[in-house]
A and B are shown apart, each in its own frame.
Chain A
Amino acid sequence: MEKVRSFLASFGLPRLIIAGFLLLLFIVAPFVGIRVGASISDTLARFGMNSIMVLAMVPMIHSGCGLNFGLPLGIISGLLGATLSIETGVTGPLSFLLAILYSTPFALIFGWGYGKLLNRVKGSEMMIATYVGFSSVAFMSIMWLILPYSSPTMVWGYSGSGLRTTISTDGFYSQILHNFLCLKVGTIEISFGEILFFALFAFIIWAFLHTKTGTAMTAVGSNPIFARASGISVDRQRTLSVIMSTWLGALGILCYQQGYGFIQLYQGPMYMAMPAVSAILIGGASVNKASIPNVIIGTILYQGIVTMTPSVMNNIIHTDMSEVLRIIVSNGMILYALTRKSGASR
């Protein structure tokens, strides 16, 4: 009994409820006429699309900057890279590499500035990060209209200037990772391309956190005073973590676009931080602790619920309330993490 209780405490009740709910959905699904194979493939595809954005949370949580609500800033670097890559007119897999290449300098510069800013507001990073994200999205909305893009696939047809709200990545890098090493086992479709891509970056982050710099970063996160006493530059570690998070955010949105098939500009990235934040929290992370398994479990659970609820609900009660449920579950999870005592130090 004692063991069960301690397991419950470490796993967290909400997480258990969510995992149980997902399991229930998978059990119910065949009885209401949903092909489980297709659902699993969908969940995996969404995992591939979203996992890197969730991974982007890890460095900042490690260095004690809290949850990265400023993810839209990284997303914007990704969008800049994506649009610049399409502007050059290169097609196929090369365009994806170009997009990564072009977005990198933006991510580094934005991340650096964002990190410097967060260093000056220690203690309320999360609130300010949220608004940094929002204001950068609003600012870029103006820029998308003004910047001199000219590729006919991207600008409005009738005026010849200003980018469209959604741009298709068809012919450029749509499904590039998804179709790479895509295996079909029965009805289940597994894209090893996306999973390997995620695994590569997850491994890099994992390995980084075990280097000297990575350990220093964790030290800064768990006890800044101790870290400073042992000669670590707190501000530098924090800035570095923010740059990493921002860059991963840029990569994350590119990965998302290749799976989704479209680039969403203007107000599109506004609320994209929320699903990523709540996914890592569902995976067992807290405001000041996160690991790679948290990312994997969280993304599967979150995306599983997002894919399964609409279809199951629709078939049972013929109403789609999944969007509302998604809002309640994901924001409820964030709320739970914020109000927990263990994270009260920050």
Chain B
Amino acid sequence: MRKDIDIRKFLANNIVPIIFIVLCAVCIPLAGYSGQYLVSQIITRIMRNSFLVLSLLIPIMAGMGLNFGMTLGAMAGQIGIIFITAWNVVGIPGLLLAAIIATPIAALLGWFCGKMLNMAKGREMITSYMISFFMNGVYQLVVLYGMGPVIPLHSDQVILPRGYGVRNTIDLISVRQSVDNFWALTIGGVKIPLLTIILIALLCVVIIWFRKTKLGQDMRAVGQDMEVAREAGIKVERTRILAIVISTIFAAYGMILYLSNMGTLNTYNSHSQIGMFSIAALLVGGASVSRASIKNVFLGIILFHLMFILAPQAGRELMGQAQIGEFFRVFISYGVITLSLVLYEIRERREKAESAKAIAAQQKEAKA
């Protein structure tokens, strides 16, 4: 009897990853890709995305929900990449320089975002979402009109022929895969980029270590209950801003890694796409608005991107149209976010109701 309840609870808590495992299991034979191809694709995508998805963990710890404002970090990373391409700094030094340029921009944007979120407690997610839209406008203003006349950049590779504004797509041939190829092994036809793995592992270690520091503990306290944390002498507002700043900076680095792996920059699309995909991937891994771990990150990336690779091909095989598969994966990414948010809210309410009931029962007992 007890076990039965446990299984049901397990299913209810992990419904999103389970749906994805089933979907992938159905799609793999339909798409008919070889195992080696799938493994190498998955490894590429883990390398490409995990830094970005990991950047989402810290605001969740601080109780601020999913940081849709990670797009701001991605913008900062892109600005860094635009500069180094224009200055023609190549290879790993180029990426390092891009990171150095991106850090202060990301910190500033993160601080702005954190300030805003402090003014909108209780609805951080929708606010951070709107901030990403708003800053997208500012980003376009800077990149499309500012770069060239206001911010001196003179490079035919980057600037549009009209003399100002950055091109729609920039070829990043000078930094392409420079981190991945620096120290790579090939096992059974699958390339394994060791330096990237080390970087990602390092970030995981930093996050685990960070949880144990004073600041990390403060964040968890704030995430549990803001008022209690304030009573305990924690500077709630400052802690929350710091959580967002750290997340934004990590997102900027993640974006730089991502772009160097991709090899092309879609100046006006990359950042907004990356926000949605990273959040969807994290949720697919079984994370919720208030709880996420490193395990969720990697499981999520594997499942979400497996779906991404398989869906168009499976759509073509099943329906005769690859486009259906394309739409299907867009639907899946939005649907997953919706489902996780709804399930989280319902669970939250049920828990609240149960704890209220327990308190009422206790009081009754005390009276009797």
Q: Is the CB of A334 within 8 A of B130?
A: yes
Specify the chain B residue showing the minimal Cβ separation from A162. B321
What residues of A have a CB within 8 angstroms of the CB of B123 in the complex?
A: 124, 126-127, 338, 346
A176 to B177, CA, bound (A): 57
Contacts A139-B331, A141-B331, A331-B137: A124 and B125 contacting too (C-beta < 8 A)? yes
Question: What are 12 residue pairs bridging A and B, where the CB atoms are less than 8 Å apart in the complex?
Answer: A120-B342, A124-B345, A131-B334, A135-B334, A274-B133, A321-B145, A324-B141, A327-B140, A328-B138, A334-B133, A335-B116, A339-B119
Q: Contact mask B320-356 → A, CB, 8 Å, 1/0? A: 0101100110110111011001100110010000000
Provide the residues of chain B in CB contact with A130, threshold 8 Å.
Answer: 126, 129
- Whether B338 pairs with A128 at a CB distance below 8 angstroms is yes
Task: Give the bracket for the number of chain A residues in contact with chain B.
Answer: 35 or more
Residue in chain A with minimal CB distance to B330: A138
Residue B120, interface by CB 8 Å: yes
Nearest CB of A to B175, in Å:
28
Write the chain B residue with the least CB distance to A121. Answer: B345
CB of A179 within 8 A of chain B?
no
| CB pair B127 A338 closer than 8 Å | yes
Give Cα A122 to B348, complex, Å.
11
Scan A168-209; emit 1 where CB is below 8 A from any B CB, else 0. Answer: 000000000000000000000000000000000000000000
Q: Which 9 A-B pairs have the closest CB atoms?
A: A327-B137, A138-B331, A328-B137, A121-B345, A339-B119, A135-B334, A131-B338, A331-B134, A134-B334
- Pair A145/B337 contact, Cβ less than 8 Å: no
Contact of A120 with B349 at beta-carbon distance under 8 Å, contacts A126-B126, A141-B327 already known:
yes
When C-beta atoms are compared, the residue in chain B nearest to A266 turns out to be: B327
Residues 310-323 of A, flagged 1 when their CB comes within 8 A of B and 0 if not, give 00000000010100
**A131 to chain B: which residues have CB within 8 Å?**
334, 337-338, 341
B155 contacts which chain A residues (CB < 8 A)? none
A123 beta carbon closer than 8 Å to chain B? yes
Shortest CB distance A152–B (Å): 20
Q: Are A321 and B141 in contact (CB under 8 A)?
A: yes
- A interface secondary structure, majority: helix
Q: Is A146 an interface residue (CB 8 A)?
A: yes
Is B134 touching A335 in the complex (CB atoms < 8 A)? yes
**Could you tell me how many residues of chain B have their Cβ less than 8 Å away from some Cβ of chain A?**
39
Contacts of A328 on B, CB cut-off 8 Å?
Answer: 134, 137-138, 141
A25 within 8 A of B: no
Q: Closest B-chain residue to A132, C-beta based?
A: B338
How long is the Cα–Cα vector from A162 to B323 in the complex, in angstroms? 11
Write the nearest CB–CB distance from A270 to chain B, whole angstroms: 10
Say whether B297 faces chain A, with CB atoms less than 8 Å apart: no
B367 near A: Cβ within 8 Å?
Answer: no
**What's the minimum C-beta distance from A164 to chain B, rounded to whole angstroms?**
13
Interface string of B79-103 (1 = CB under 8 A from A): 0000000000000000000000000
Whether B131 sits at the interface, judged by CB under 8 Å, is yes
B residues in contact with A123, CB < 8 Å: 122, 345
**Complex contacts, B122 vs chain A, CB 8 Å:** 123, 344, 346
> Are A142 and B324 in contact, with the CB atoms below 8 A?
yes
Give, as a whole number of angstroms, the nearest-CB distance from A67 to chain B: 9
A12 at the interface (CB under 8 A from B): no
Interface flag for A113 (CB, 8 Å): no
A117 within 8 A of B: yes
CB of A128 within 8 A of CB of B127, answer no
Q: Does B121 contact A (CB under 8 A)?
A: yes
The chain A residue with its CB closest to the CB of B121 is A344
Q: Which residue of A lies closest to B143 (CB)?
A: A324
Residues in A whose Cβ lies below 8 Å from that of B335: 135, 138-139
B325 CB → nearest A CB, Å: 9
Instruction: Return A110 CB to nearest CB of chain B, in Å.
Output: 14
A339 B120 Cβ-Cβ under 8 A: yes
A122 and B321 alpha carbons, distance in the complex (Å): 40
Tell me if A293 is interfacial: C-beta within 8 Å of chain B.
Answer: no
In angstroms, Cα B141 to Cα A340, docked, is 26
- Given the interface pairs A141-B331, A331-B133, A335-B127, the reply to whether A324 lies near B338 with Cβ below 8 Å is no
Given A130-B126, A131-B338, A324-B140, do A146 and B324 touch, yes or no (CB 8 Å)? yes
- Nearest A-chain residue to B141, judged by Cβ: A324
Q: In whole angstroms, how far apart are the Cα atoms of A139 and B137 in the complex?
A: 28
